[in-house]
Amino acid sequence: MKKIKISPSILSADFSQLGNEIKRLKDGGADMIHVDVMDGHFVPNLTIGPPVIKALKKQSSMIFDVHLMISPVHKYIKAYSDAGADIITIHPEATDNLKLSILKIKELNKKVGVSLNPETKVDVILEHLDKIDLVLIMSVNPGFGGQKFIPEVLNKIKELKKIQENKNLDFDIEIDGGINFDNSKIAIEAGANILVSGTTIFKSNDGDIKKNIELLKSK
Ligand code: DX5
Ligand code: ZN
């Protein structure tokens, strides 16, 4: 059984204090930092890019779990690698050749993640599962924090877990979107071992990050 890890999404952080917010997450026991990159094209929202990530990474030893909601994504992979991303997660719909994009991330010695939107089936990535380090299961449609959890995606996690066991593979299963104290347990029981959370971690219990991370893990 893999150790349950928490990857807080800084999309819900105070963007005027991102450096301090990342330090608060580290002090609060976060296992990594989930950085939501949005381009206003793949998703209807725009956040941060390589210069900001580079500046944040200079101040932090934390693992940067970078979720690229951008398209086309292939030509930007190196920029995020150079900026300091440790895990680079892409969406299959955002590249013309998923196999080449996966190989590009591996060539750069970064961990590679592939993200499935709620409507996207596991079949899309079956042939790549032996080459990737992480599958990011979206439990909301990407673009914004604070959305409602879509429970149907839990079946996808259970399906992935079975495939992982049958093929004796070791990728992490990360779930992202609407994770809170009421659904973190069922997400873990379904097979997720990394929980992304923004709103719950930054806004619950008067923003007590340490308490919120512990509560999510302990369910
Ligand atoms: C949505 C992002 C998620 C989101 C999670 O497109 O990928 O990481 O910020 O935020 P909450 O936990 O508020 O749903
Ligand atoms: Zn995300």
CA of 78 relative to ligand 1 center, distance in Å = 24
Mean pLDDT on 153-168: 98
CA distance 100 to 102: 5
- pLDDT, one tens digit per residue, over 92-151 is 999 999 999 999 999 999 999 999 999 999 999 999 999 999 999 999 999 999 999 999
In the chain the domains, ranked by start, together with CATH numbers, are 5-217 (3.20.20.70)
pLDDT at 219 over 70: no
Distance 11 CA to ligand 2 centre (A): 8
Verify whether ligand 1 is closer than 6 Å to residue 9 (CB atom). yes
Omega before residue 72 within 30° of 0, cis: yes
Ligand 1 pocket residue status of 140, Cβ below 6 Å: yes
Q: What digits encode the pLDDT tens for the residues 161-213?
A: 999 999 999 999 999 999 999 999 999 999 999 999 999 999 999 999 999 99
> Is the pLDDT confidence value at 77 over 90?
yes
Torsion, Cα 153 176 40 85, to 10 degrees, reads -130
Ion ligand 2, residue ranges at CB < 5 A: 36, 67, 176
To the query of whether residue 176 is one of the catalytic residues in this protein, the response is yes
pLDDT of 218 over the 90 cut: no
β-sheet bridge partners, residue 69? 38
Residue 24: per-residue pLDDT: 98
Q: Locate all alpha helices (DSSP H) within the chain, ordered by sequence.
A: 18-27, 50-58, 77-83, 98-107, 153-167, 184-190, 199-203, 209-218
Q: pTM for the complete prediction?
A: 0.98
